[in-house]
Structure 1
Amino acid sequence: MTHTHMAGDIHANVAAPGPQWLQRPQDVNAVDPALWSHTSKRSESGELTIGGLGVTEIVETTQTPVYVMDEEDFRSRAQAFATAFEGWRVFYAAKAFLCRGVARWAFQEGLGIDVASGGELATVLSAGVDPAVLGLHGNNKSVDELELAITSGVGRIIVDSLDEIDRLEQLCQQHGCRAQVMVRVTAGVEAHTHEYIATAHEDQKFGFSIANGQALVAMVRCHVSPSLDLLGIHSHIGSQIFATHGFEVAARRTMKLMAQFHSATGQHLPELDLGGGFGIRYTSQDSPATPDQLATDLREIVEHEARGHQMAVPTMSIEPGRAVVGPSGTALYTVGTVKVVDLDGGAQRVYVSVDGGMSDNIRPALYAAEYSAALVSRSSQAEPVLCRVVGKHCESGDILVRDVFLPGDIRPGDILGVPASGAYSRSMASNYNHATKPPVVAVRDGELTTLLRRETLEDLLGLDVG
């Protein structure tokens, strides 16, 4: 019998732990290609190789924890979106993961880049990316961030409030320039995702509401401004979304708004951005759409709405981030302790503690995100056992993988790999417990390149002026 607990199922009394979708594997050494980057595979010895390098060699070079980025995988996914959405503008959402190397990869594969802060903007500019293909997001952009955007020639600024419109207009007048803007709207869509990453319902901080007329007011405000050029409308409904139903509602409401704007001003808006948030596979229960499937569905949705409003199909944009970089990254950890804990009803749980945790992947603790894991440094003939992979931090919620089958002989010194760690892991990493942030390395054709070096204790102490 299962009893729910106000703090979640982690505290429930269970007779048989583990979610119903998690199946006992027939081969505990098997690597599901749907979960891992394109070049990941087992060698004859049972060791996982990524980009032609064995994980043991990678760890000898970098130590653990470490994020391993499969460059070939990233580039192929970027190419897939650019090809599937030919004729559309595809912006890589830098918030998923950003460094100068990845910014160059995205740009070289024909993607624009969406940034959401002055730091992200400065990083992309320092990578040599053409500012004309950049878009700047943010619900509370500072004067300094807006000034950097207009003086560097950012292609579009997505405005999020009337206060920001005022600030941007004043800066343009001071610098004697114009800014191209899009108005971010909330379409009133309840995306089927966690509430913390749903961004188009009414009661949240982003954008102007279509329902109460704020969006149309903001659009007219930008249209009549002597310093701003209104390009169109921006909508984003959330993250880790698998179905296109929410995008259909968003397209219907945003294109109706474009028609209302035309009626009010006599002007047609040339662009519409439907955002990103396309989901990826973290576990065997996830079933994301391919770029081709997404493109087919979204094109059909937009063309249908355009016919309904007797308007030309606007220039369309999307912003995949997680869907490009998420599957390209693998986090590697070293097992430190293995502990068997007795549960109510006679069941047991095996706790496998690794040398990372919520400081390098906060998503499981933040909104119960699910991940997979595997023993990647060797093969095993032991029977699979249900395990919980946890970190080393001083929090009982410091869980990396809530439920996963690992070999029964899992032991200290083994290397665990967590696939689909390329997005929102290093980018959301912290120094909790004064942990140092792991490095990010790229692998390709048997070569390893450092993208971000490991933080050191000297880095931490260098910030402490006391």
Structure 2
Amino acid sequence: MDKRLLTGTMKINKANHLEIGGIDTVSLVEKYGTPLYVYDVSQIKYKVRTFKKTFQDRNIAAQVAYASKAFSCLAIYQLMAKEELSLDVVSGGELYTAIQANYPSKKIHFHGNNKSDSEIIAALDYDIGCFVVDNFHELKKLNEYTIQRKQKVSILLRVTPGVEAHTHDYITTGQTDSKFGFDLNNGQAQQALQSALEMPYIDTMGLHCHIGSQIFETDGFRLAVDKLLTESKKWQELFGFHLRVLNVGGGFGIRYTAEDEPLPIEDYVNNLIDEVQIVSANVQLPMPEIWIEPGRSLVGDAGITLYQVGSQKVIPDVRNYLAIDGGMTDNIRPALYDAKYTGVLANRMEDKIEETYSIAGKCCESGDMLIWDLPLPKADDKDILAVFSTGAYGYAMASNYNRIPRPPVVFVENGQAFLAIKRESYADLMRLECSLY
């Protein structure tokens, strides 16, 4: 296996087992069962602190916000609050969880392309720090509510700058044809800004963009910065707009397989800082505060999923299928957009590779395939499969398809394990159901 996949505190221990957070994964399975999501807290803290320190070392005013759609729960919000991050939420449910975690209200940024009345009211009631306004409908509603309540609110306008990141179509969001944001090229962004500046209780602090996800280069970010700062200079002359905040979103890539080559965190951040400084000077704008929204890059490769190996099907000269006790219900990404993963036998880390298996989930779907053509030792049902880099959009997108309960989530750090989310039971599946007879 490629040792680069052993991130954070992951290592091979003397028992030839995968260890994470100072705990043998075999013992985690014995205690909590499978499937099981495991998060390396030390790795998350390292990523958080590296983002923050890179800005601090350059003496740049900045906010780092955790894009919590990657993985939302009470415990992760509490961890991010303790690390003094801002928080990006995209729904009433995420906002409610943040409130239950006592997240500092002014550090919460509310995103989303179709915020409901109840969501807007809940955010106003909690007096959050910023709305990222996505469309004219939302801007009109926010204006009406703030006038009724005589309540000041800060906003960023989400702009689609016409920049396409080199990523999958489903996770590309900065191009012109997108459901998100005000389009820069057709004049909608300028129209929205002009309207917002006339609204009495709306403080338009700046602009937001997000060009995509799982990005391995900085060219797209730099192009988006160039476009937004150039337009901001024009809008300053036209409307007296002062760009105080430039939010360039997230999308920083991580390693899922040996083929992935993400940049170091410092490279992403320093390239952004350099570009904002250069273009601000060129167009004669004061340097804005830079905001970013890492999600996957904070929690993605800090998480693994552990499965129990089950049945096998050998098709001579075609394929060996190896089934596990999870699949698309706990990781929909391979079925949804052909996401690639790799894995190991956690209880036999350095055993000789003898077979190539295709890892099949247990759902009643031919498309429930987690990994194609994975080299492994000859496996049987005593083995535990560990899949790397499942910390983002695993639990967050999990479902109960086929009436399969969702797995638990365990945080590990310094030899201690904390159960962050309990395993669902069959009774939990029935909890909200009503009998017809």
Instruction: Tell me the TM-score normalized by structure 2.
Output: 0.96
The within-5 A match list for 1:125-164 is 125-164=99-138
CA distance in 1, matches of 2:400, 2:55: 39
For residue 419 of structure 2, what is the aligned residue in structure 1?
450
Residue 412 (structure 1) shift? 1.1
Amino acid in the other structure paired with 2:412: V
CA distance in 2, matches of 1:121, 1:381: 46
For residue 301 of structure 2, what is the aligned residue in structure 1?
327
The within-5 A match list for 1:238-257 is 238-257=212-231
SS at match of 1:327: coil
The count of aligned residue pairs is 431
Given the alignment of the two structures, is residue 91 of structure 1 paired with residue 65 of structure 2, yes or no?
A: yes
Given the alignment of the two structures, is residue 308 of structure 1 paired with residue 282 of structure 2, yes or no?
A: yes
For residue 421 of structure 1, what is the aligned residue in structure 2?
390
SS at match of 2:5: coil
The within-5 A match list for 1:385-464 is 385-407=355-377, 409-464=378-433
SS at match of 1:135: strand
For residue 261 of structure 1, what is the aligned residue in structure 2?
235
Q: Name the stretch that deviates more: 398-407 or 377-386.
A: 377-386
CA distance in 2, matches of 1:389, 1:62: 22
Residue 173 (structure 1) shift? 2.1
Residue 200 (structure 1) shift? 0.7
Residue 445 (structure 1) shift? 1.5
CA distance in 1, matches of 2:197, 2:3: 49
Of 186, 202, 224, 1:228 maps to 202
Question: Segments of 4+ in structure 1 off by > 6 A?
Answer: none
Query: Does the 8 Å CA contact 2:159/2:184 hold for their aligned counterparts?
Result: yes
Given the alignment of the two structures, is residue 237 of structure 1 paired with residue 207 of structure 2, yes or no?
A: no
Amino acid in the other structure paired with 1:127: A
Residue 208 (structure 1) shift? 0.4
Structure 2: 5+ residue runs without aligned partners? none
Given the alignment of the two structures, is residue 375 of structure 1 paired with residue 345 of structure 2, yes or no?
A: yes
Given the alignment of the two structures, is residue 62 of structure 1 paired with residue 36 of structure 2, yes or no?
A: no
SS at match of 1:302: helix
SS at match of 2:4: coil
For residue 16 of structure 2, what is the aligned residue in structure 1?
46
CA distance in 2, matches of 1:380, 1:315: 48
Of 160, 169, 176, 2:143 maps to 169
CA distance in 2, matches of 1:134, 1:295: 21
SS at match of 1:85: helix
For residue 25 of structure 1, what is the aligned residue in structure 2?
none
CA distance in 1, matches of 2:333, 2:257: 14
Of 356, 359, 369, 2:326 maps to 356
What whole-Å deviation, never above 9, does each CA across 1:400-450 have from its counterpart, x for those lacking one? 11232111x211121000111100000000111111111101111111111
CA distance in 2, matches of 1:253, 1:213: 13
CA distance in 2, matches of 1:194, 1:266: 38
Given the alignment of the two structures, is residue 288 of structure 1 paired with residue 262 of structure 2, yes or no?
A: yes
What whole-Å deviation, never above 9, does each CA across 1:171-192 have from its counterpart, x for those lacking one? 1122221111010000101110
Query: Does the 8 Å CA contact 2:18/2:349 hold for their aligned counterparts?
Result: no
For residue 156 of structure 2, what is the aligned residue in structure 1?
182
What whole-Å deviation, never above 9, does each CA across 1:74-119 have from its counterpart, x for those lacking one? 1111111111122321101000001111112112222111011110
Amino acid in the other structure paired with 1:245: D
For residue 77 of structure 2, what is the aligned residue in structure 1?
103
SS at match of 1:275: coil
CA distance in 1, matches of 2:349, 2:149: 63
Q: Name the stretch that deviates more: 163-172 or 34-43.
A: 34-43
Query: Does the 8 Å CA contact 1:36/1:420 hold for their aligned counterparts?
Result: no
Residue 387 (structure 1) shift? 1.5
Query: Does the 8 Å CA contact 2:353/2:375 hold for their aligned counterparts?
Result: no
CA distance in 2, matches of 1:451, 1:381: 32
Amino acid in the other structure paired with 2:39: M
CA distance in 2, matches of 1:134, 1:379: 42
CA distance in 2, matches of 1:197, 1:377: 34
Query: Does the 8 Å CA contact 2:161/2:224 hold for their aligned counterparts?
Result: yes
Amino acid in the other structure paired with 1:181: I
Residue 144 (structure 1) shift? 0.7
SS at match of 2:94: helix
For residue 311 of structure 2, what is the aligned residue in structure 1?
337
For residue 165 of structure 2, what is the aligned residue in structure 1?
191
For residue 4 of structure 1, what is the aligned residue in structure 2?
none
Residue 385 (structure 1) shift? 2.1
SS at match of 2:163: coil
Residue 297 (structure 1) shift? 1.0
Amino acid in the other structure paired with 1:321: G
What whole-Å deviation, never above 9, does each CA across 1:55-87 have from its counterpart, x for those lacking one? 111111111001001111111111111111223
Given the alignment of the two structures, is residue 76 of structure 1 paired with residue 50 of structure 2, yes or no?
A: no
Quick one: structure 1 residues 46 and 200, their matched pair in 2 at CA, closer, same or farther if it must change by over 3 Å?
same
For residue 22 of structure 1, what is the aligned residue in structure 2?
none
Residue 379 (structure 1) shift? 4.5
Query: Does the 8 Å CA contact 1:96/1:427 hold for their aligned counterparts?
Result: yes
SS at match of 1:423: coil
CA distance in 2, matches of 1:423, 1:274: 20
For residue 6 of structure 2, what is the aligned residue in structure 1?
36
What whole-Å deviation, never above 9, does each CA across 1:245-293 have from its counterpart, x for those lacking one? 1111111111112112101112312111000000000000001011111
Residue 151 (structure 1) shift? 1.2
For residue 270 of structure 1, what is the aligned residue in structure 2?
244
Amino acid in the other structure paired with 2:413: R
SS at match of 1:463: coil
